[in-house]
């Protein structure tokens, strides 16, 4: 994924559409033709929306974990500041 949040979002939505809506979608750019329209069963739309919802929840969880992770603390023994770096 890229660092652009809109590009990440669009890529995730396109992946969900390809996986859950069971027909070829190459882009969300309008073509101004009949190729812009699809007939889709309601349960397929439900699956796609549920997948998008879960993807959003997971993105929120990841962001919350990043926000909560401390980067500095104070040593209880000597009082010096300690820099915390995550292990990757």
pLDDT digits (tens, 9 = 90+) for 21-33: 766 777 778 888 8
**Total domains, the chain:** 1
Report the alpha-carbon distance of residue 25 to residue 37 in Å, rounded.
11
7-63 pLDDT, tens digit per residue, is: 888 888 888 877 777 667 777 788 888 878 878 888 888 888 888 888 888 888 888
Assess if residue 88 is contained within a domain. Answer: no
Structure confidence at residue 84 (pLDDT): 84
Name the one residue in this structure whose structure tokens are 């070829």: 24
What pLDDT, on the 0 to 100 scale, is given for residue 23? 66
Would residue 65 count as lying in a domain? yes
Residue-number span of the structural domain to which 38 is assigned: 5-83
Distance CA 59, CA 55 (A): 6
The verdict on residue 72 lying in a domain is yes
Identify whether 25 is part of a domain. Answer: yes
Residue 2 has pLDDT above 60, yes or no: no
| Rounded CA separation 48/55 (Å) | 11
**Residue 40 located in a structural domain:** yes
Asked if the structure places residue 30 within a domain, the reply is: yes
- Considering the domain boundaries, does residue 67 fall inside one? yes
CB under 8 Å, gap of 24 or more: what pairs does 6-12 form?
Answer: 12/52, 12/55
> From CA 55, how far away is CA 35, in angstroms rounded?
27
Is 38 among the domain residues?
yes
């Amino acid at each position: 994924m890229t660092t652009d949040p809109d590009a990440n979002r669009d890529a995730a939505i396109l992946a969900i559409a390809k996986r859950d809506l069971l027909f070829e979608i190459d882009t969300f750019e309008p073509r101004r033709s009949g190729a812009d329209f699809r007939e889709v069963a309601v349960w397929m739309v439900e699956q796609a929306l549920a997948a998008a919802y879960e993807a959003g929840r997971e993105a929120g969880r990841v962001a919350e974990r990043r926000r909560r992770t401390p980067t500095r603390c104070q040593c209880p023994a000597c009082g010096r500041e300690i820099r915390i770096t995550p292990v990757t």
